[in-house]
A = this chain, B = another copy of it.
Amino acid sequence: MRFTEQKMISILRHRGYRLTPQRRAVLRVIASSHDHLTPAAIYERARQKYPDIGLVTVYRALEVLGKLGLICEMHTGGDCRSYLMRRPSGHHHHLICSGCGEVIDFADCDLSSLEQRLTQKTGFKIEGHLLEFFGRCRNCQRVDSA
């Protein structure tokens, strides 16, 4: 955590952004949650530590933090935007519990052979992919069957 915060500071500075308590608050909220949070949820939580923060500022902080690669935006089914801490891993994907919203990261997607096949068949130059799994975590499976 300390690491992340240090890193954040250096990244912000390096790109000419300022380190404000609001941005710190937003980042901490996201860092301390394992779920993906909507802007409104982030706002609610950030307010507990920093009551004067405005929703607008949360949106702006999310934009900046996203631009810096510190957090990432997700598009999961219904509600379109939600944010999650970007783990150091870089390229990765999500396994999302449809019950409680828990998110597990994984990186080993190995879609290269599929990519090659698609390139050959279509002539597309493939630049990226979006891969997310949906399911039920252990806990929610238990609740389901109860």
Give the size range of A's interface with the partner.
35 or more
User: Which segment of A18-26, A41-49, A62-70, A103-111 sits at the interface?
Assistant: A103-111
CA of A121 to CA of B118 in the docked complex: distance in angstroms?
29
Q: A121-146 toward B: CB 8 Å interface, digit per residue (1/0)?
A: 11111111111111111100100000
How far, in whole Å, are A129 and B138 apart by their CA atoms in the complex?
Answer: 18
Across-interface contacts of A35 in B (CB, < 8 A):
none
CB pair B80–A95 under 8 Å, yes or no, is no
Residue of chain B at shortest CB distance from A94 = B130
- Give the docked Cα–Cα distance between A127 and B118 (Å): 25
Chain A interface residues toward B at CB < 8 A: 75-77, 80-81, 95, 97-98, 104, 106, 108-110, 114-115, 117-118, 121-138, 141
A-B contact pairs, 9 of them (CB 8 A): A95-B122, A104-B122, A106-B118, A108-B117, A122-B138, A123-B141, A124-B136, A127-B135, A129-B134
